[in-house]
C-alpha cells in the first residue's frame, strides 16, 4: 500500500532531510513551506504557504481531502532572541510555532479519526521544560506544544490514531542558536530518531537521551539560584 505523508515546514533543516529520507523509502510526500522546494521527484508535491496566513487552512483542507494521509509531521518553528524594547516577534512566534500546529492538527486529525488510522508527529524541544530570559516566547510555544500534543495523544488513541511529541535537544541547523550547544546532534541523526518515532509511534520521545539529565540539572540549578 503506497504510504502518503504531508510535511509542514520542510524546505530546510530537519524537515528537508526527512522529506528526502521518506522519498527514498518509497513514500508519496506532500510538502508545505513559505519557500519553494529544490526537490524534483514524481512522488513529491510542494506547496508554498505560510501557516500563520489566512489561506493556509483552506489549502491544507484541500490537500488532505484529495488523499488518504497516513502521516503528518509539523516541523515549522521560528525563534528570535528577546528584545525588551521591541517585542513585535513575541506573538508571531507563539502563532507560528503553537497555534500553527493546533490549526494543522484540527484539520488533519478529524480526517484520520474518520478512517480510524493515521499518525501525527509534532517537533517540539526540551526547551518546553525550561524558563528563558533569552527566548521566552520560543520556550512558552514549545511548553504549550508538548502539553497539547501529549493530551491529544491520550484523546485520540482509542480512535486508532497516534500522536507523537518529539522533543529535540540541539540539532545542527540554522535554528540552533547560542554559544554553547551541549550534546548537539547532526540533522541525519535527528532523522534517524524521527524514523524510530514513525515506526514505534510513542506519545513522547526525547532525543538525544543524554540531554534528559542535563535538563534536570539545569532546572535544579535554576531553582537553587532562584533564577
Ligand atoms: N535545530 C534545533 O536545535 C532544534 C532543537 C529543538 C527543536 N527544534 C525544532 O525543530 C523544528 C525544525 O527546526 P529546524 O532546526 O529544522 O529549523 P529550520 O531549518 O529553520 O526549518 C524550519 C522550517 O520551517 C519552515 N517555516 C518557518 N516558518 C514557517 C511558516 N510561517 N509557514 C510555513 N513554513 C515555515 C521553514 O521554511 P520556510 O522558511 O521556507 O518557510 C523551514 O523549512 C522546529 O519546530 C524547531 O523548533 C529544532
Domains and CATH numbers, the chain: 4-226 (3.40.50.720)
* Structure confidence by residue, pLDDT tens digits, 62-97: 999 887 899 999 999 999 999 999 999 999 999 999
Residue 191 — pLDDT band, cuts 50, 70, 90? Answer: very high
User: What separation in Å is there between the alpha carbon of 9 and the centre of ligand 1?
Assistant: 6
Give 223's pLDDT tier (boundaries 50, 70, 90).
Answer: confident
Cβ count within 10 A of residue 209: 11
User: pTM for this structure?
Assistant: 0.97
For residue 13, what are the CA distances in angstroms to 53, 149, 190, 216, 225? 22, 22, 10, 27, 35
Whole-number Å distance, alpha carbon 97 to ligand 1 midpoint, is 9
pLDDT of res. 17: 98
Active site residues: 138
Amino acid at each position: 500500500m503506497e504510504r502518503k505523508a504531508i510535511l509542514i515546514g520542510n524546505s530546510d533543516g530537519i524537515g528537508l532531510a526527512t522529506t528526502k529520507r521518506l522519498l527514498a523509502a518509497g513514500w508519496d510526500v506532500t510538502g508545505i513551506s513559505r519557500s519553494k522546494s529544490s526537490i524534483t521527484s514524481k512522488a513529491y508535491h510542494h506547496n508554498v504557504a505560510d501557516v500563520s496566513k489566512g489561506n493556509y487552512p483552506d489549502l491544507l483542507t484541500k490537500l488532505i481531502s484529495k488523499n488518504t494521509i497516513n502521516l503528518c509531521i509539523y516541523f515549522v518553528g521560528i525563534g528570535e532572541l528577546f528584545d525588551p524594547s521591541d517585542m513585535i516577534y513575541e506573538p508571531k512566534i507563539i502563532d507560528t510555532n503553537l497555534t500553527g500546529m493546533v490549526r494543522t492538527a484540527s484539520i488533519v486529525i478529524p480526517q484520520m479519526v474518520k478512517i480510524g488510522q493515521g499518525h501525527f508527529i509534532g517537533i517540539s524541544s526540551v526547551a518546553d521544560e525550561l524558563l528563558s530570559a533569552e527566548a521566552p516566547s520560543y520556550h512558552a510555544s514549545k511548553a504549550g506544544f508538548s502539553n497539547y500534543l501529549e493530551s491529544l495523544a491520550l484523546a485520540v488513541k482509542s480512535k486508532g490514531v497516534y500522536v507523537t511529541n518529539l522533543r529535540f535537544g540541539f540539532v545542527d541547523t540554522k535554528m540552533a542558536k547560542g554559544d554553547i550547544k551541549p550534546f548537539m546532534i547532526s540533522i541525519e541523526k535527528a532523522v534517524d530518531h524521527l524514523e524510530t518515532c514513525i515506526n514505534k509511534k510513542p506519545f513522547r520521545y526525547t532525543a538525544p537521551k543524554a540531554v534528559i539529565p542535563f535538563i534536570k540539572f539545569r532546572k535544579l540549578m535554576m531553582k537553587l539560584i532562584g533564577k
